[in-house]
Structure 1
């Protein structure tokens, strides 16, 4: 059997229904190794951060507490495709302020020697006031609640930095990652700059639920066969992929059954995003969480299999209108 050296030794054998044996960053280092990649190419310049003065923290708080005008067409698109990209959710000044703070947090955690890696931080809202504004934002929470048509709780926040030269993110859908016994979950993906094609924007397979196309496919914890098989099956079925760039302030929301991936970061600039995941109030934990759920106990402290997914770290942050 092939061995992935980034996989903790305790997770190399047995069923997937076992606890992840490493920390959160070890999970990400392992997970991006499961993507198939073409040969690397020379890096090009990135777009830079928004060329505007950063908003002050009070301005950030006001925007994140102001309702966004979601249209019926936006909701319909999400229901049909399991994702939607929304313009102008954040202003350029707010993006710049969040990008500057995120750079400080990531450098403090991971240092400067991160080329080629996928670095991450989670649960930032527990200790950083600015990230708390994002995680508990009524603007973002209300969008999630409207798209799912239910009150929503926060699962966790996330900082995702695809460093220069880092390869692809493998094809996946979040229902296989979240230890939640519901498909009513959605993630807001908030880029911290414009994201051109060379930077590896998040890309979505079109279709509300493509999981039947993958019947019989076995998750590969050691190599890239799962990622390659998903690509092949989607190509054979003629599945279309939305892989366009992101403008400054554009935010996407993707549901638990949305298959998505992201390309290599072929720029000299880290491709950074904030991501917050929401789930339906009333959801429960699955009977048998898997190692693919990573350090889920940190996000649902004290929750148990088959029990309610509602801890002190999972407040309701969005109400159905």
Structure 2
């Protein structure tokens, strides 16, 4: 393990989101927030997160032998459960308050976190909707996507179909070549504007709604694209009856011990921010 400081940044201070930013998010289904985590905070947490990604990664096939999903990224979920130091990052109130403000809700819980590390030469992330995987009876879900290293224009950030979240559920296609082709045609047919925020600094973040269609380019560089994501759900949300294998799997993995109709409140779904806290 890398050398660890005796006191890790807690990141509970407020980051003020404007009314204009909230309105833009509600209209487009995505937004970029610059410098949400400071340089000195990223300098502490990036080595810790990366060490655990290396430790937990069980992908042993070379890129050329993987399917499209496998080429897209190394994916490690619920890192916050591995070590208290990592939990300080995922459970940061600063991040959670931004999520609550953008969605216009009083409080948010963790659905889960995910490290998404796109390897040098890694493939594109096909067009998809996150919430086809989630058995959640709400549209109040949001994902924070934060690079832990600077991302150049060559790699780029995600591309969003602006306003697509307003349609809600489109189809059940999981991330695949088929989802990329079908949703790309759908997006073009509906005339949705495709928006990317281009280069990003470590500690910048995008936020997007669970139904917002999005994709990401491949990584043509020699550097690992290191990204940490945190998925939030509005406090008070109930679990929907899972209607697919993907949602049944998510129910078991991220909402253990709960069933349709229950509140999202397992030990894996702590309340991380509420206006009354």
Q: Match for 2:79 among 96, 108, 124?
A: 124
How many Å apart are 1:75 and its aligned residue? 0.8
After the TM superposition, which segments of 4 or more aligned residues of structure 1 sit over 4 Å from their partners? 54-57, 111-115
Q: State the distance in 2 between where 1:81 and 1:252 align.
A: 12
Q: State the distance in 2 between where 1:237 and 1:165 align.
A: 32
Q: Is the 8 Å Cα contact of residues 108 and 232 (structure 2) preserved in structure 1? A: yes
How many Å apart are 1:192 and its aligned residue? 0.8
How many Å apart are 1:57 and its aligned residue? 6.3
Q: Is the 8 Å Cα contact of residues 82 and 258 (structure 1) preserved in structure 2? A: yes
Q: Match for 2:22 among 59, 68, 75?
A: 75
Q: State how 1:101-116 maps to structure 2 within 5 Å.
A: 101-110=48-57, 116=63
Q: Is the 8 Å Cα contact of residues 30 and 209 (structure 2) preserved in structure 1? A: yes
**In the alignment, which residue of structure 2 is the partner of 1:313?**
268
Q: State the distance in 2 between where 1:209 and 1:228 align.
A: 19
TM-score, reference length from structure 1? 0.75
Q: Is the 8 Å Cα contact of residues 8 and 44 (structure 2) preserved in structure 1? A: no
**In the alignment, which residue of structure 1 is the partner of 2:211?**
257
Q: State the distance in 1 between where 2:199 and 2:144 align.
A: 16
CA 1:57–1:228 in 2, change beyond 3 Å: closer, same or farther? Answer: farther
How many Å apart are 1:228 and its aligned residue? 0.4
Q: Is residue 60 from structure 1 mapped to residue 9 from structure 2 by the alignment?
A: yes
Q: Match for 1:92 among 20, 23, 39?
A: 39
How many Å apart are 1:205 and its aligned residue? 1.2
Measured against aligned partners, the alpha-carbon deviations of 1:166-192 in whole angstroms (never above 9, x if no partner) come to 111111122212111111011111111
For structure 1, the residue ranges without an aligned partner over 5 or more in a row are: 1-53
Q: State the distance in 1 between where 2:210 and 2:6 align.
A: 32
Q: State how 1:231-310 maps to structure 2 within 5 Å.
A: 231-243=184-196, 244-293=198-247, 294-310=249-265
Q: Is the 8 Å Cα contact of residues 200 and 266 (structure 1) preserved in structure 2? A: no
Q: State the distance in 1 between where 2:113 and 2:103 align.
A: 18
Q: Is the 8 Å Cα contact of residues 67 and 142 (structure 1) preserved in structure 2? A: yes
CA 1:115–1:250 in 2, change beyond 3 Å: closer, same or farther? Answer: farther
Q: Is residue 136 from structure 1 mapped to residue 91 from structure 2 by the alignment?
A: yes
CA 1:308–1:145 in 2, change beyond 3 Å: closer, same or farther? Answer: same
- Provide the aligned C-alpha RMSD in A: 2.5
**In the alignment, which residue of structure 1 is the partner of 2:128?**
172
Q: Is the 8 Å Cα contact of residues 115 and 165 (structure 1) preserved in structure 2? A: no
Q: State the distance in 2 between where 1:72 and 1:208 align.
A: 21
**In the alignment, which residue of structure 2 is the partner of 1:145?**
100
How many Å apart are 1:281 and its aligned residue? 1.2
How many Å apart are 1:70 and its aligned residue? 1.1
Measured against aligned partners, the alpha-carbon deviations of 1:41-84 in whole angstroms (never above 9, x if no partner) come to xxxxxxxxxxxxx99463522xx111112111111111111111
CA 1:292–1:169 in 2, change beyond 3 Å: closer, same or farther? Answer: farther
The SS at the match of 2:7 is helix
